[in-house]
Amino acid sequence: MTSLLTRLIGPPHAKRGNGLLAVLAAVTSLLCLALITTFPWGRDQSIYALIGHGMLQHQTPYHDLWDFKPPGIFFVYAAAEAWFGENMAAIRWLEVIGLVASILCLVVLSRRFQGSSLAGWCAAAIFTLAHVMLDFWHTAQPESFGGMLTLAALALIVPRDQRTTTNLQAYLAGALLGAAGLMKPQLAGGLIVFAAYVFRQVPDSPWFKRLWPLLALGCGALTPLVACAVYFVTHGAWSDFWWTMHDFVPGYTALGWHGGHAPLSMFHYALVESLVKFSVYIPIGVGAALILPSAHSREYEGIFLTAGLVVFHAVGIALQAKFFQYHYGATLPLLALLAGLGWSKLWWTAVPRGWTSITIFAVAALLSGLVSTGMPDLPGSGWQRTQLRLHWLFHRRHDVAERSRLDGAIARVAGFDLDADQDVASWIKGQTGPNDTVLVWGFEPAIYWFAQRKPATRFIYDVAQRTAWQRPIAQQRFMADIRKSDPLVVVVQHADIFPLVTGGTGDSAADLADFPEFAQWLQSRYFAAGYRFNFEYFRRRGSIPATP
């Protein structure tokens, strides 16, 4: 049997061509990492960055600056600004650091599961390519960093040379998954997979000894959760956090469940999309990993452990019921690990058979890359956007004006236009002083950041006031904020229609009809001062008239 496997797939440690393929995969990953540094913000990234900036100014999420995402991502963006400065590139540099760590984890895991680092380098190339194809809108998201934490936890929980996981490893792995749960709660579901994994490692030991690693895993998971709770309690923001997570988020999640979708069909949809939507390399590689004979004694251990995490991720995606592309960001590195195993086995199948098989492998790999598609709603194709970014990166990276033109040409999707936000911010900056407060009634918090002006309310966008399930309390808090801050200018957005977020089909301007108190306050205290793009400008009466 051993000789048959050797003839079929080649010895896993054979040096023939492994180094060349690993180098090609590593170069691909490096190019992808370089491209990520060119990504600007989307709408979500501006939310996280504005709140992260506020945290560095001693403001607290949910209490002083509101969003309904779990709190972990705000700490990440605050760290990015603290380490790399107040700019759009800061989070991208932190993202690159996280991706480099993920690549190292993939290599370590492939060494343990397959006895060769080749699968890890293949997985790294597959993962970074899929990540880059998500483009600026769906990267640097909670799932992006949650996936990195999950992969690091997996590398910790899997022991070397079939040794058992130590209590310290279990604690650290649990802490990483707990932190991932602060990015997206469903990512903490991997604790169940890890618990089953460490429990079965010592089947002959007394039951109380088998509980120690489980206890360490649980304590590790609780550590970041308790630390986060202490943070909000000591900052006087626990009630705001609780209202957001306990009252607002369930209503938002329920929007995707309207229409009577069957839970099992939604899980199936999430699982299939994970496998086939983001990279052609993934279904081919996963199929090869499952079909081709095992190349190492621990290979099936890795497949079952990784597949278990993927299943829990798919359950979480189905529960959210939105199926946004970034929801799959934490699952892609796990699928890439499985795909890397498969592609390395395909390589070991091709090499012993000569140049014809090697050529077929190369053509299949090239075509898989060419037919993989990026985000469809952005201007141009994924490869066209990549070409523009590579040209700027290698030829014009010191040209600030050219970078602005690049962002203006690409950063437009789902009603978001980075150029328009910067234009509105420029108007606000010219109309106000650094100590004035301003109000954007819309879904563009980036305007506050670009204008460098303080929001007049904790609600840095107006979704909470436009939703049916928490409208009264959100509107009440909004009015209390703006009456206290008395903003000098107000900007009202048109054409920001997001039924899956607000639950309605109106834009911010139209939804003023459902907020008569604010509409009357705006009409009585402000006068129209202009209109550009999809934004209507107002200035407080009695102040200096706006410049035309």
514-527 pLDDT, tens digit each: 999 999 999 999 99
State the pLDDT at residue 502: 86
State the pLDDT at residue 548: 41
Question: What distance in Å separates the CA atoms of residue 252 and residue 470, rounded to the nearest whole number?
Answer: 10
State the pLDDT at residue 401: 83
Q: What percent of the chain has pLDDT over 90?
A: 66
The arithmetic mean of pLDDT across residues 372-377, rounded, is 71
- CATH 3.40.50 residue ranges in the chain? 415-540
State the pLDDT at residue 259: 61
Question: What distance in Å separates the CA atoms of residue 90 and residue 96, rounded to the nearest whole number?
Answer: 10
pTM (predicted TM-score): 0.93
The arithmetic mean of pLDDT across residues 89-113, rounded, is 96
State the pLDDT at residue 410: 87
Q: What is the CA radius of gyration of the chain?
A: 25
For residue 155, give the H/E element and its range: helix 142-157
Give the SS3 label for residue 187.
helix
Residue 377 has pLDDT above 80, yes or no: no
Q: Name residue, tokens 């109106």.
A: 506
Q: According to the CATH classification, is domain 415-540 in 3.30.780?
A: no
Q: Which residue intervals of 325-436 are DSSP H helices? A: 332-350, 355-371, 382-395, 400-410, 418-431
Residue 119 has pLDDT above 80, yes or no: yes
State the pLDDT at residue 5: 39
Mean pLDDT score of the chain: 89
Residue 1 has pLDDT above 90, yes or no: no
Of 107, 110, 111, 77, nearest in space to 94 by CA: 77
Identity of residue 52: G
DSSP-derived pairing of the beta strands 535-540 and 526-532: antiparallel
State the pLDDT at residue 357: 85
Confidence band, pLDDT 50/70/90 cuts, at residue 265? confident
Which of 237-246, 311-320, 448-457 is predicted least confidently? 311-320
Question: What distance in Å separates the CA atoms of residue 212 and residue 224, rounded to the nearest whole number?
Answer: 20
